[in-house]
Copies of this chain bind each other. A is one copy, B any other.
Amino acid sequence: MSRVRVAMVQTNSVVGDLEGNVERIRRVLDEVADCDLAVFPEMTVAGYPLEDLVLKPGFVADCRTAVEAVAEASGRCALIVGFADSAPEGGDTTGVQNAVAVCQEGRVAGVYHKRVLPNYDVFDEARHFVPGREPLQLFEIAGVRVGIVVCEDLWVADGPVDRLVAGGAELLVAINGSPFHRGKLDEREAVVAATATSSGLPVVYVNLVGGQDELVFDGGSMVADTAGRIIARAPRFDEAVVIVDVDVDPVPSSATDLVTVPVSDPVTRSDHAVPPPLAQLDPSAELYEALVTATRDYVVKSGFTDICLGLSGGIDSALVAAIAADALGPERVHAMLMPSRYSSDHSISDAEDLVANLGLDGRTIPIEEVHFALRNLLTPSMGDDPPGSTDENLQARIRGVLLMAHANAFGWLVLTTGNKSESAVGYSTLYGDTAGAFAVIKDVYKLTVYELARWRNDQAGGPVIPSHTISKPPSAELRPDQRDDQSLPSYEVLDPLLEAYIEGDRTRADLVADGFDGDMVDRIVRLVDLAEYKRRQTPPGTRVSRKGFGRDRRLPIVNRYWG
């Protein structure tokens, strides 16, 4: 039996930050110097996903330069890093490839190009990359033949894994940029374990960490032994280096029919690296951490330090304020209370309690005077009583203008506080409560907002969200005695219907067959479809479900198919 010392290096690479990403790799070189191989995530030096950045030939050339800088810094420990590569000149493909370099002792010992390109959900890899087609190779690292794949390669039956195994691989390494959604870790573990079991080889799975626009990568890198047991785990949502000795059963070299690239010889060690045990996160903790990480990274990677948001006294803005305070520190969260004539006393006091509990910078600006001035201005066109929701939207938009004025004046980002249930049915005011840079809970249904609020209140330090905020009936407070359930079914009824329609791609007829009430289906499905135009203009926000309202749900705005 051989034993290789593997470092799983979960980096928070930043898209396009080639210098910074190389520096992130250099920073851990001392720590991994005693390892045989250090495995980094997909697109380590470039960041992921790059989207149309890869269409710039100059960018791809710069990526290659960055990988050469990594190679120059490498020593005995083989660094397995991801990058964007150009397909080799004179080959039968042109274009960009999703690549892995094996860097060791100052050189690039070899390169593998991802063969299976996901082009569904949030992924557009068939747009951006051409698949690797060169003959498969193995890399002999510390005397062990290592087969390397990238992310999707591992997930499909006709990918390169079987061929690497049949060709004599002794250890499989997968580098990944696998975005979080609820339940995703279990899916990944199942795939990694099944691959280990069916191949009889240990599998090292390293994932990216951090937020990038609408995606959040949760890390959770792992090693499975030959029996499919997960023997090492890296933390979730944090950068980490986890070192683990992996036992490898030798495969006779006579079984190898793939070209094997020699990288490094084995060394003898007297110690044994055993990774620390790691507690799993429960589903609420995992989701909350995802939102905190994504919010922090969006703000910080955009070059900002502070955010502001409107506090209504309701549960959505309360939860977002807590997430922002946990992400950035409460002193960087500027909470604006902007009561109108319809705001209830309890709303104001609930919001004030939240500001005090979290230690935010709270500011109160009543909007009555401006509301009055605007109504005056509109009187010649529409009289004293504007039709429909005009006056409700007016109040929401005044608040949006005030938040944006503060953001402009002080260099803050505005966070919006709408949830997925609202976004689905268009229960929001465009340029009003949807105005802002990042929509923290846009992919969280209302019932889950309650779940997270309760979970946050149960954490050390005691409750922060006022109990009245959680217990009172939801209301937009844009007209007297307004309540959400006057316009919408209860969230207990609405959320499952929305999930079936949105995540499930069910039609109206399907939903009625599923047992949902026909009239309600008609009404809600129509609201969801009609609100597509609003969603196109709302800010990005973290995807935490199987299908968010972002790159994974691309519907036409002009669309006469009802259902």
**Which residues of chain A have a CB within 8 Å of any CB of chain B?**
14-18, 20, 47, 49-53, 55-59, 62, 119-120, 124, 126-127, 211-213, 297-298, 301-302, 363, 365, 367, 369-370, 372-374, 376-378, 380-382, 386-390, 393-394, 397-398, 400-402, 404-406, 408-410, 430-431, 435, 437, 505-507, 509-510, 533, 536-540, 553-563
Contacts and interface: CB of A to CB of B under 8 A. Distances in A.
A554 B52 contact: yes
18 contacts: A15-B561, A17-B560, A49-B556, A50-B556, A52-B554, A53-B555, A56-B505, A58-B510, A127-B554, A365-B381, A382-B410, A387-B409, A393-B404, A393-B405, A397-B401, A397-B431, A401-B401, A431-B435
A521 to B, nearest CB: 13
Nearest to A118: B127
Contact of A537 (B376, B537, B560): B537
Contacts of A58: 506-507, 509-510, 563
Given A212-B558, A382-B406, 12 more contacts: A52-B553, A58-B509, A62-B507, A119-B126, A365-B381, A374-B401, A381-B409, A388-B408, A394-B401, A404-B430, A431-B431, A536-B539
A397 B404 contact: yes
A15 B559 contact: yes
Contact of A52 (B14, B47, B50, B555): B555
Q: How many copies does the complex hold?
A: 2
A129 to B, nearest CB: 11
Contact of A16 (B15, B16, B390, B559): B559
A456 B206 CA distance: 60
Nearest to A534: B437
B560 A15 contact: yes
Contacts of A435: 430-431
B374 A370 contact: yes
Contacts of A553: 52
Given A387-B409, A397-B404, A401-B397, A302 B538 contact: no
Given A409-B387, A509-B58, A556-B15, A53 B398 contact: no
Given A369-B373, A369-B377, A378-B405, A213 B127 contact: no
Contacts of A16: 556, 559-562
A391 B52 CA distance: 35
Contact of A378 (B51, B62, B213, B402): B402
A411 B389 CA distance: 11
B124 A554 contact: yes
Given A51-B554, A409-B381, A56 B507 contact: yes
Given A401-B401, A507-B59, A53 B559 contact: yes
